[in-house]
Structure formats: structure tokens, C-alpha cells
Amino acid sequence: MMQPQAALLSSLEPQHTLQQLRASQRCEAGMRWQWDGVDFEVLHPDAADYETEPAPKANALSCVLRISNGRQAALLAGDIEAAQEQRLVDDPAMLPLLRADVLLVPHHGSKTSSTDAFLRAVQPRHALVQAGYRNRYGHPAASVVTRYEALGTHLVLSPRCGAARWHSAEPQNVACMREDERHYWAHDVP
């Protein structure tokens, strides 16, 4: 059951199958709201990006969301790629908003994302890679892993970690459910 009071923000085109399940509003840079003392801000895409001709790839329109309690911040970067990362980094007003303790790694760690400039701007303490175990794309790319390691970022891979849990009250820790809540039938994933 969907949460009836929740608003759905999306960058999917109106005719997309998922849009038929529930009405949504386009995510656009500058959208802000606060809930329970936590600030939410959409950093990308700009409203004009939806009107670009030819139409941009879906990844280029991914919603980028910053979540902050004033002391700690998380950046959910969606599937943006190098061009969108560079645009964010090149905007002086955006630079302070990019800094985050936790980064949801752009585009699952694809070699088309997580550029040096973007990572230097974000400077994440932890970076979470959402990727399927033995996924056909080989995410995260070895070159991307190397960039995070060079920055000293703790990289958390979902195939090894399972669900990851981070609390702003304990920003130095990321808990991996596969390790913390093991069951006798669980097996190790390399």
C-alpha cells in the first residue's frame, strides 16, 4: 500500500509505465521542504532540462536530493553521469550543497560517473554503491572504486553489505545488515 499523504517526485517522462501507478510531480532544482527538523533540497535537474532538444537520456534527468539535519548531510545522486556532475561542480552556489557525509554513489558506480571533481566537491566519508550481485555491467567499475579509495572514502557495496544503515547521530558508522543481523542460513558473499 502506498503512503497516501506522501508526494512523489520523479524525473520519469509522463508516459512511463511507473507514472501510471501514481501521479507524480517533476523534481526540479530548488525544490525544498522540511520534515521533522530535516531539510530536503533537490539540486538537479533544472526545470529547463526537461525541455532540451533532443531529449536528454533518462540518467541525465535523475533527481539529485540533499538531505541534512544541519550537522550531517546525505547526497542521493541518482543516475547522473559526468556531464551532470560537472555542471553541479561548476555552479558556485551549488558547491556548499554538494558537501555530504554520505553519498549514494552516482549511477551505481558506473565508469561514466563519480568523477574526480565531483568527489572532491562532495568529500564523502561514506559512499554507498547500489549494485546487484554479479550485475552484468560490472558495477562498480574498478576505476571508480580506485577514485573513492584515493579520497579515503569508506566504500560500502550492497552485494557485500546487504541493506546499509547510517544514522546522523553516529556519522562515523555504517551498519551492514548482512553482518549485523546474520541468520544461521546466511552465507558469505565475496
Q: Going residue by residue through the chain (190 aa), what tens digit of pLDDT does each one get? A: 467 777 778 888 877 887 777 778 889 999 999 999 999 999 999 999 988 888 788 889 999 999 999 999 999 999 999 999 999 999 999 999 999 999 999 987 889 999 999 999 999 999 998 866 666 766 688 899 999 999 999 998 877 777 777 777 777 778 777 676 666 555 565 5
- Write the CATH number for 64: 3.60.15.10
Identify whether the C-beta of residue 149 lies closer than 8 Å to the C-beta of residue 131.
no
188 found inside a domain? no
pLDDT at position 52 is 85
- Chain centroid, CA 95 distance in Å: 16
141 found inside a domain? yes
Q: How far is CA 25 from CA 8, 10, 40, 47, 117, in A?
A: 6, 6, 16, 12, 31
171 found inside a domain? yes
Q: Is 171 exposed, middle or buried (0-12, 13-18, 19+ CB in 10 A)?
A: middle
Domain that holds residue 63: 27-180
pLDDT at position 89 is 98
189 found inside a domain? no
pLDDT at position 135 is 66
The strand pair at 73-76 and 64-68 is best described as antiparallel
pLDDT at position 158 is 76
What total of structural domains would you count in the chain? 1
Please report the DSSP string for the chain in residue order: ---TT---EE-S-TTSGGGGTS--EE--TT-EEEETTEEEEEEE--GGGGG-SSPPPGGGG--EEEEE-SS-EEEE-TT--HHHHHHHHH-TTTHHHH--SEEE-GGGG-TTS--HHHHHHH--SEEEE---TT-TT-SSPHHHHHHHHHHT-EEEEHHHHSSEEE-TTSTT-EEEHHHHT--TT-----
190 found inside a domain? no
Q: List phi, psi (to 5°) of 179.
A: -90, -40
65 found inside a domain? yes
Which candidate, 160, 103, 162, places its Cα nearest to that of 127? 103
68 found inside a domain? yes
pLDDT at position 187 is 58
What is the residue whose three cell numbers read 524525473? 11
pLDDT at position 166 is 78
185 found inside a domain? no
pLDDT at position 138 is 63
Identify whether the C-beta of residue 75 lies closer than 8 Å to the C-beta of residue 55.
no
pLDDT at position 1 is 45
pLDDT at position 58 is 84
